[in-house]
Chain A
Amino acid sequence: MRNVDDLIRKALTRRKFMVGAGSVAALSAVGCSHNFQPQTTPTNPVTTLTDADYLNFALNLEYLEASYYLIAATGTGLSAADMGTGAASVTGGAQVPFTSAIQQEYAYEIAQDELNHVRFLRSALGSSAVPMPAIDLVNSFNAAASAAGIGSSFDPFASFDAFLVGAFVFEDVGVTAYNGAAPLLTSTTYLGAAAGIMAVEAYHAGEVRSLILQAGTAYVGYANQISALRATLGGGNETALSATTVVACNPTNALAYARTPSQVLNIVYATGDGNATSGGFFPSGLNGNITSTIG
Chain B
Amino acid sequence: MATTETLILDEVIASSRRRMFTMGGAALAGLVFGSTTKANAQTTLTDTDYLNFALNLEYLEAEFYTLASVGETIDQIGIGIGAGTAMTGGGTVTVKPSGVASCKVPFAIPAVASYATEIASEEQKHVTFLRGALGASAVAQPNIDLYHSFNTAAAAAGIGPSFDPFASDVNFLLGSYIFEDVGVTAYHGAAGLLTSKTNLGAAASILAVEAYHAGLIRTVLWGLDQATPAAGIAAITVKISNLRAALDGTNDDDIGLTKVQDSLNGTTANYTASTIVNADSNTIAFSRTTQQVLNIVYASTTGAKGGFFPNGLNGNIS
CB <8 Å contact, A254 and B219: no
CB pair B209–A198 under 8 Å, yes or no, is: no
Residues of the A chain whose Cβ atoms lie less than 8 Å from the Cβ of B156: none
Neighbouring A residues of B265 by C-beta, 8 Å: 70, 74, 76-79, 82, 115
Query: Which residues of A, 89-130, contact B by the 8 Å Cβ criterion?
Result: 101-102, 104-106, 108-109, 111-117, 119-120, 123-124
Q: Which residues of A contact B282 (CB under 8 A)?
A: 116-117, 119-120
Residues of chain B whose beta carbon lies under 8 Å from any beta carbon of chain A: 1, 4-5, 26, 28-30, 32-37, 110-111, 114-115, 117-119, 121-123, 125-126, 128-129, 184, 187-188, 191-192, 197-198, 200-202, 204-216, 218-220, 222-223, 226, 259, 262-266, 271-287
Known: A3-B33, A106-B276, A247-B213. A199 touches B207 (CB 8 A): yes
Docked-complex contact B29 and A187, CB < 8 angstroms: yes
Contact B201 A183 (CB under 8 A): yes
B-chain residues with CB within 8 Å of residue A213 when the two chains form the complex: 111
13 other A-B residue contacts (CB within 8 Å) besides A116-B283, A179-B208, A207-B218: A3-B29, A70-B265, A108-B272, A179-B205, A183-B197, A192-B192, A198-B207, A206-B215, A246-B115, A247-B118, A253-B4, A254-B209, A256-B207
Q: Is B216's CB under 8 angstroms from A200's CB?
A: no
List the 8 closest pairs (A to B, CB-CB), nearest first: A206-B215, A202-B211, A256-B208, A196-B284, A192-B37, A199-B285, A254-B125, A189-B29
Min CB gap A290→B, angstroms: 19
Give the docked Cα–Cα distance between A76 and B271 (Å).
14
Interface of A is mostly: helix
User: Cβ of B122: which chain A residues have Cβ within 8 Å of it?
Assistant: 247, 249, 254
Q: How far is the CA of A258 from the CA of B73 in the complex (A)?
A: 31
Residues of A within 8 A of B214 (CB): 203, 206
Check B111–A198 contact: CB distance below 8 A.
no
- Chain A residues near B223: list those with CB within 8 A: 102, 214
A244→B204 contact, CB < 8 A: no
Contact of A203 among B36, B192, B278 (CB under 8 A): B278
Judge whether A252 is part of the interface by a CB distance below 8 angstroms: yes
Contact partner of B200 (CB less than 8 A), chosen from A175, A182, A198, is A182
B184, closest chain A residue (CB): A199
Find chain A residues with CB under 8 A from B271 CB.
73-74, 108, 112
- A4 adjacent to chain B (CB < 8 Å): yes
CA–CA, A74 to B265, complex, Å?
8
List, in ascending order, chain B residues with CB within 8 A of A215's CB. Answer: none
- A105, A120, A257, most chain B CB atoms within 10 A: A105
Residue of B nearest to A77 (CB): B265
The verdict on A32 contacting chain B, using a C-beta distance below 8 Å, is no
Chain A residue numbers with a CB within 8 Å of B266 are 74
Q: Report A264-288 residues with CB < 8 Å from chain B CB.
A: none
Q: How far is the CA of A108 from the CA of B266 in the complex (A)?
A: 12
Once bound together, how far apart are the Cα atoms of A235 and B216, in whole Å?
Answer: 26
The answer to whether A189 and B37 touch (CB under 8 A), given A179-B204, A199-B188, A214-B223, is: yes
For this complex, 15 residue pairs linking A to B, each with C-beta atoms less than 8 Å apart, are A102-B226, A112-B262, A113-B277, A115-B265, A120-B282, A123-B33, A179-B204, A195-B191, A199-B188, A207-B277, A243-B114, A249-B212, A253-B5, A254-B126, A258-B205
